């Protein structure tokens, strides 16, 4: 008889700093960010309750045959937070630290992110509690296909459209698209985005998150009267978004002075060549030890004196504990939820210009929207067209957020939430309540 083991989510404990206590539960953080915007907008209490509550939550067991012949039962989630403005949209992450509250938070952030850049989507998110670094490719494929089959009733190109996220990629999306299509009996390209180009993926999608981050940072530099050429940049997280951001910023003649991954970071005041760093990581599995650099921790990287800091890792990197140590002039959040609400207030008092995640990393979902639109119409764009359309959407969103922040005399995150929550609230009220 096969041995069955189940992976269970672990709660995220609050941190204690001296006499102060900061709640790092991502879902409660997401709700607090919403509540702040709702207060500024003076929303009706009933409407607030609708907008802060996920529409649908699905938790599934994912029995998977491992390479050794044993069965392992993974736990997976798909959360649809809001679909007032269009189908749910959001990534699928594979990580041992996935929790339901994290997925609920990420789904709500997707609602506000799609509204910030004004594309016709709602917010969704999914995740599986697993350690993909310890799984073979066949194991990942079997788990992915079973996961997709379990959540299949609630997804579809007009319902909910998954995409890659932490430790998932174009191959993961190809397996999901194929599983959905084989069950449906017809090829459905638009059921997921972030696919390989050979399966209807969009040109420019792989670079979209980092390129969107570059576009908003360029506009922030204009506002702050900082020249991007020669500006010093530190990047925490050297995965897909972080590594590509390093290359794109270097192409604009910015100086990359520090990068890091899960094992640690490296620093060089003379500058780091992003392509050399990427090749070194591909050979060794980490940037740590790269010739011509000195080793630093992820915490030390965040506290470096630089013009632009790009958190491109996971949530809760900038907290009440370390916010006062941040010395960057601009913080551009390429990751989801890297800064806590208490830290936001500290950064604002220090005069640091924050580019919130629902704006700074919205390039990925914007080009996912372009991919979905191309799939539905069966007509595909050249890469320069994709990048030009992305630039137009992201730069307009930057100034929409900036003006909202100035109008309400708040920092940029609250400005972005006021803009986004207002748009979703309007759509919800116009649609009304049925039945």
Catalytic residues: 125
Its sign, for the CA torsion 373, 374, 376, 379, is positive
Q: What contacts 183, CB < 8 A, 6 or more positions away?
A: 149, 152
Distance CA 396, CA 241 (A): 22
CA distances (Å), origin 202, targets 88, 378, 383, 387? 19, 12, 8, 11
Distance CA 19, CA 277 (A): 41
Residue with token string 């990393």 = 361
Burial class (CB in 10 A: 0-12, 13-18, 19+), 371: buried
CA distances (Å), origin 310, targets 42, 303, 356, 367? 33, 12, 11, 20
Other C-beta atoms lying within 10 Å of the C-beta of residue 412: 25
Burial class (CB in 10 A: 0-12, 13-18, 19+), 274: buried
Other C-beta atoms lying within 10 Å of the C-beta of residue 107: 31
């Amino acid at each position: 008889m096969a041995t069955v083991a189940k992976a269970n989510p672990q709660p995220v404990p609050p941190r204690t700093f001296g006499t102060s206590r900061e709640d790092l539960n991502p879902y409660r953080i997401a709700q607090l960010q919403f509540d702040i915007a709702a207060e500024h907008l003076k929303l009706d209490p009933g409407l607030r309750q609708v907008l802060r509550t996920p529409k649908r939550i699905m938790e599934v067991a994912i029995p998977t045959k491992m390479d050794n012949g044993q069965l392992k039962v993974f736990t997976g989630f798909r959360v649809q937070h809001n679909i007032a403005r269009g189908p749910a949209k959001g990534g699928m992450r594979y990580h041992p630290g996935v929790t339901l509250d994290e997925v609920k938070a990420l789904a709500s952030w997707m609602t506000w992110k799609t509204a910030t850049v004004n594309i016709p989507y709602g917010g969704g998110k999914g995740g599986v509690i697993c350690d993909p670094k310890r799984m073979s490719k066949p194991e990942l494929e079997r788990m992915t296909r079973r996961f997709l089959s379990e959540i299949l009733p609630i997804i579809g190109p007009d319902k909910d459209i998954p995409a890659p996220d932490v430790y998932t990629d174009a191959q993961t999306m190809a397996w999901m698209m194929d599983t959905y299509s084989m069950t449906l009996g017809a090829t459905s390209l638009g059921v997921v985005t972030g696919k390989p180009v050979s399966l209807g993926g969009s040109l420019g999608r792989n670079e979209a998150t980092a390129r969107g981050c570059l576009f908003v940072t360029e506009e922030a530099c204009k506002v702050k009267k900082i020249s991007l050429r020669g500006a010093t940049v530190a990047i925490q997280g050297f995965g897909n978004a972080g590594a590509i951001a390093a290359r794109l910023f270097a192409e604009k003649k910015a100086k990359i002075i520090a990068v890091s991954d899960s094992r640690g970071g490296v620093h060089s005041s003379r500058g780091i060549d992003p392509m050399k760093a990427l090749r070194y990581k591909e050979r060794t599995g980490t940037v740590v030890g790269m010739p011509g650099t000195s080793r630093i921790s992820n915490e030390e990287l965040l506290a470096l004196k630089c013009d632009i800091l790009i958190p491109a890792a996971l949530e809760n990197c900038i907290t009440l504990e370390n916010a006062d140590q941040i010395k960057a002039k601009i913080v551009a959040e390429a990751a989801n939820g890297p800064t806590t609400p208490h830290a936001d207030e500290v950064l604002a008092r220090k005069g640091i210009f924050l580019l919130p995640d629902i704006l700074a990393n919205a390039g990925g979902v914007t080009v996912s929207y372009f991919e979905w639109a191309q799939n539905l119409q069966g007509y595909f764009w050249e890469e320069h067209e994709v990048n030009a359309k992305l630039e137009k959407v992201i730069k307009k969103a930057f100034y929409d957020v900036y003006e909202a922040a100035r109008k309400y005399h708040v920092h940029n995150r609250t400005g972005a939430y006021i803009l986004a929550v207002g748009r979703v609230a309007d759509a919800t009220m116009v649609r009304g309540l049925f039945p």
